[in-house]
Amino acid sequence: MFSKEHLIYLKKRKKRKRFIIAIQLLIIISFLIIWQLLSDLNIINTFLFSSPKNVFNTLIKLSKTDLFSHIGITFYETIVSFLIASILGLIIASILWFNKTSAEILDPYLTVINSLPKVALGPLIIIWVGASINSIIVMALMISLILSVINIYNCFLSTNNNYIVLLKSFNATNMQIFRKVVIPSNLNNIFNAFKINISMSLIGVIMGELLVSKKGLGYLIMYGSQVFNIDLIITSVFVLGILSFLIYYVLKLLEKHFFK
């Protein structure tokens, strides 16, 4: 049984969550209404900026053809690149934590590689891997992997040193410290790194699709720009935003379930 004070606290917490969700929905609805009003009043040019009605009509047309096929391709590429980047990022960050000398040697190289413009390397990726789904996944990995390594490794370094000193005083090995202190105390940070990683993977996939794909939301955006179909571009971006939100929400549910 919960105490009366705890029940009041839970009630306030639920109210706050509902208030935040309501404000978020209000912002989206207000934006759509203002956008539509500006287009109806001819304040903005619908040929250049489209409108919610045009986006909705385009969405209906696409749903009757191959919209879900494009969404499925982008989703598959994103999940594959996310899983590879997350697993490799966790492994490499762990190796760097165990070997501080290697971490110090590789630190400037990781920073330089992470700062490279990945789009500029697109033609090289196509030559090396081929104009296929593999090049899209490689592009996504180039964007997300190094960032994942840096974020997770910095999480490991931020571990409370008092815990590590305490275990060392009991002659604990590095593996025991890693398993008993570093990983458990950074689970929340690791999940936060994964949340960043999923967005970076999605960005990388779209960039790859802009270069080589003939399927996917990135392809629709590129095709829309080639034929100057603003409705198609904005509709694709809108669907991309929904897909990004759904993936993020699923990851957040997994995090919540894991910690429970």
Average pLDDT over residues 148-163: 90
Residue 131 is encoded by which pair of tokens? 């104009």
Q: How many CA atoms lie within 13 A of 259 on its CB side?
A: 12
Q: For residue 59, what pLDDT is reported?
A: 92
The pLDDT tens digits for 64-95 are 888 899 999 999 999 999 999 999 999 999 99
Report the alpha-carbon distance of residue 168 to residue 113 in Å, rounded.
35
State in Å, rounded, how far the first CA of the chain is from the last one.
Answer: 18
Q: For residue 9, what pLDDT is reported?
A: 75
The pLDDT tens digits for 88-99 are 999 999 999 999
Q: For residue 27, what pLDDT is reported?
A: 94
Residue 175 is encoded by which pair of tokens? 């593996």
Q: Which residues 6+ apart lie within 8 Å of 70 measured at CB?
A: 62, 215, 216, 217, 219, 220
The pLDDT tens digits for 109-138 are 888 888 888 777 878 888 888 888 888 999
Rg (CA), the chain: 23
Q: For residue 260, what pLDDT is reported?
A: 66
Percentage of the chain modeled with pLDDT above 70:
99
Please tell me what DSSP assigns to residue 178.
I
Q: Which residues 6+ apart lie within 8 Å of 125 measured at CB?
A: 135, 138, 139, 142, 208
Contact 152, 93 (CB under 8 A): yes
The pLDDT tens digits for 1-52 are 567 777 777 788 888 888 998 998 999 999 999 999 999 998 998 888 889 9
pTM equals 0.85
Q: Where are the alpha helices (DSSP H) in the chain?
A: 4-40, 46-49, 52-63, 67-98, 100-115, 122-129, 133-157, 161-169, 174-177, 183-185, 187-212, 217-226, 230-259
Q: For residue 65, what pLDDT is reported?
A: 85
